[in-house]
Amino acid sequence: MSLPKFSYLAPDTLEEACRLLAAHQGKIKIKAGGTDLLVRMSARAFKPDYVLALGKVAGLDHITFDPRTGLRLGAMAKLADVVDHPAVREHYPMLARAAKATATVQIRNMGTVMGNICNASPSADNIPTLMVREASVIALAATGEREIPLAEFFLGPGKTALQPTEIATEIRVPVPEAGSGVSYQKISPRSKVDIAAVNVAAFLLLDGERRCRQARLCLGAVGPTPLRAPRTEDFLVGKELRPEVLEEAGELAAGEATPISDVRASKEYRRLMVAILTKRALVEAHNQALHH
């Protein structure tokens, strides 16, 4: 199907972008890479009168790392650039893995990490790793900007905490603590190039005795939004990652998931995969932490 008719707005500055957004509230959609938006518009899932393209705004595609403040990804930073960025690969290898697990080469060359986040799909590849790294999103409006922790960002499928007048301009990821590690695990029916049926990210911060000082988990595609697993996380704190601890963590996480059955998997399979992927993610995060 062809795209419905709309006006294409391509401002040069964020100020102008915020102004246009405010002026056309409710009738406008923001476009970064467009790989989700345009497909949905073609399918008539969205029928905006205006599309606000951020491509012409200078300095929105930055990927910068500062050892004191951490990683910053601009709204227009493309998935492919995140995959290949040396600082991302060095300090946040699982962000690179998640970006690379997103869709196909063609989509990664167009699509952005921010777009993947703002699309707010429960199965999004880039959310879980950012979530367990306690990343946040900078939201800019004509009236000022605010920082929204990712943990508070997702309200439901396709729904975010962004106000209709706000543009998400930047993702901020804290500096990785020494002794911490992350893992991203994903399973999908077609294997290599596919949307996740279930994905899991784990973060572990170990103490000197190799016990979990902090643990964070994010479970994707098993609830209306990517889910944290607080009971499992609490359970892990203070424990060594022995086989029986892993087993129980997997089962606890599976219990915290709220999957449904759909064309991609049954809820029983999803729940079992949460357990399996959680265990795998914890083991890998543990290994990462030991080497960090």
Partner 1 sequence: MSKNFSVVGQSLPRADARIKAVGAAQYADDIILPGMLYGKLLRSPVAHARILNIDVSQAKKLPGVKCVITGDDTLKIKFGNWRLVPESQDEYPLAVDKVRFIGDEVAAVAAIDKDIAEEALSLIKVEYEELPGVFSVEEAMAEGAPVIHELNPNNISLQRKIDYGDLDKAFAECDLILDNEFKVHAVSHAYMEPCACVAEYDHNGRLTVWTSTQTPYFVQCLLAKTLGMRENDIRVIKPFVGGGFGGKMELRKWEFCAAFMARQTGRPVKFTLTRAEELATGRRRHPMSIRSKVGFKKDGTLVAKEFTAYLDGGAYNSMGPTAAFLCGNFGGMLYRYPNYRYNGYHVYTNKPPAGAMRGFGAPQALFVAETQMNMAAEQLGIDPLDIRLKNAMETGDEIPGVATISSCGFKESLLKVAEMTNWREKRRQLGKGKGIGIGCYSFISGGVFNWFNTQYNFTRAEVRAFDDGTVHLLTMASDIGQGCDTVLRQILAEELGLKMEDIRLTAADTAVTPQADLGTWGSRVTLMAGNAVRKAAQEIKDQLYKVVSLKFDLNVIHDLDCRDGMVFAKNRPDRGIPFGEAVRLAQRANRGEPIIGYGSYTPRGKGLVTPAFSFGAQVAEVTVDMETGAITVDEMNTAHDCGTPINPMSVEGQLEGSVHMGLGYALCEQFIMKGGKTLTATFLDYKIPCAEDMPPGKSVHVETYEPDGPFGAKEAGEGLVSPTAPAIADAVYHATGYRCTELPITPEKILRGLGKL
Binding positions for partner 1, rule: CB under 8 A: 1-2, 4-5, 43, 104, 187, 189-195, 263-266, 268-269, 272-273, 276
At closest approach, how far in Å is the CB of 274 from partner 1?
Answer: 11
Nearer to partner 1, 18 or 221 (CB): 221
C-beta of residue 96 within 8 angstroms of C-beta of residue 88? yes
Nearer to partner 1, 229 or 265 (CB): 265
R_g of the chain computed on alpha carbons = 19
Nearer to partner 1, 63 or 187 (CB): 187
At closest approach, how far in Å is the CB of 163 from partner 1?
Answer: 30
At closest approach, how far in Å is the CB of 250 from partner 1?
Answer: 10
At closest approach, how far in Å is the CB of 5 from partner 1?
Answer: 8
Nearer to partner 1, 168 or 217 (CB): 217
Nearer to partner 1, 7 or 266 (CB): 266
At closest approach, how far in Å is the CB of 127 from partner 1?
Answer: 18
Return the C-alpha torsion angle 56, 59, 61, 66, nearest 10: -170
DSSP letters along 191-253, please?
Answer: SSSS--SEEEEEEEEE-TTSBEEEEEEEEESSSSS-EE-HHHHHHHTT-B--HHHHHHHHHHH
Place of tokens 């499992």: 232
Nearer to partner 1, 5 or 68 (CB): 5
Q: State the sign of the Cα–Cα–Cα–Cα dihedral 35, 37, 40, 41.
A: negative
Q: Specify the amino acid at residue 273.
A: M
At closest approach, how far in Å is the CB of 238 from partner 1?
Answer: 27
Beta-carbon contacts of 121 under 8 Å, excluding residues fewer than 6 positions away, are: 157, 158
Euclidean distance between CA atoms 32 and 247, whole angstroms? 41
Euclidean distance between CA atoms 67 and 81, whole angstroms? 20
At closest approach, how far in Å is the CB of 155 from partner 1?
Answer: 23
Nearer to partner 1, 90 or 268 (CB): 268
